[in-house]
Amino acid sequence: MPITRHVFDHCRLELNAIIVRLMHKFHPVYLYKLYLLKRKKNLLVNIGCGPYGLDQGWINLDLFPIKNVYLRTDCRKSLPFSDNTCLGIHVEMFLEHLDPKDELPFFLYSCYNVLQKDGILRVVVPDAQKFINAYQSKDWIEMNSISYGLDDWAINFPTKMDALNHVFLQGYEHYGGWDKDRLFNVLSKSGFISIRVVEFGIGDFQNGPIDREYHRPNGLYVEAKK
């Protein structure tokens, strides 16, 4: 190709996002769904749900047309809800995909605005501390135990530093690593309170969290309130 894979993939993503944003402005089906969402309250929202959105009880948002996605949305730019209408927002393995200067602050600000008073934001990110500890271990056993389902990262990566870069950068899709201090800092700056580390499947969401088992060995789980 006349351009690098990085540039090609980024352009393809942004073109898709532009199309979705235009559909939010002009497509009658999207406009009708937006009309309905703007009038709903006490919502539970799963942002960047991928193919894991639950078919009942949750509003699932993703940029791509995946099963159980209620509305394709570029959540980096806006959330399709009125202010103070969401009981809870679940964000699993999405924050690390946001540019820390251009996208992350606005996204967290948007989450804060649409949450009701005492509403909960639950964030799951790759736990940098777990991967750093695994990197510093003598062999690949600890790294393989948190390896996103790959049987042996020693086969998939030539060195443990390559494996660590895969987690922190994922080629060029992630914007670095996350730990407790960094996550607490950005949430606090966005106005959130009662920020705490929680465990997989444990939290204050109505009817319980919807964490994915796939991320259980390597996820950092944090809840914060408005």
| pLDDT tens, position by position, 14-27 | 999 999 999 999 99
Looking at the structure, do residues 135 and 212 belong to the same domain, yes or no? no
Q: Are 63 and 170 within one domain?
A: no
Domain that holds residue 60: 5-125+178-225
Which of 154, 176, 198 represents a domain boundary (last residue)?
176
Per-residue pLDDT tens digits for 119-159: 999 999 999 999 999 999 999 999 999 987 767 899 989 99
Eight-state DSSP code of residue 219? E
Task: Please check whether residues 27 and 110 belong to one and the same domain.
Answer: yes
Q: Strand, helix or coil at 5?
A: helix
User: What is the residue type of 222?
Assistant: V
* Contact of 93 with 124, CB cutoff 8 Å: yes
Q: In the chain, pLDDT over 90 holds for what percent of residues?
A: 88
Phi, then psi, of 167 in degrees rounded to 5: -70, -50
For the entire predicted model, the pTM comes to 0.95
Regarding whether 216 and 137 lie in a shared domain, the answer is: no
**Per-residue pLDDT reduced to its tens digit, 201-224:** 999 988 899 999 989 999 999 999
Number of domains in the chain: 2
- Cα distance between residue 160 and residue 153, in whole Å: 8
Residues 13, 85: one domain?
Answer: yes
pLDDT at 45: 98
Considering the domain architecture, whether residues 211 and 133 belong to the same structural domain is answered as no
| Same-domain status, 9 and 117 | yes
Does one domain contain both 134 and 115? no
Q: Are 52 and 212 in contact (CB under 8 A)?
A: yes
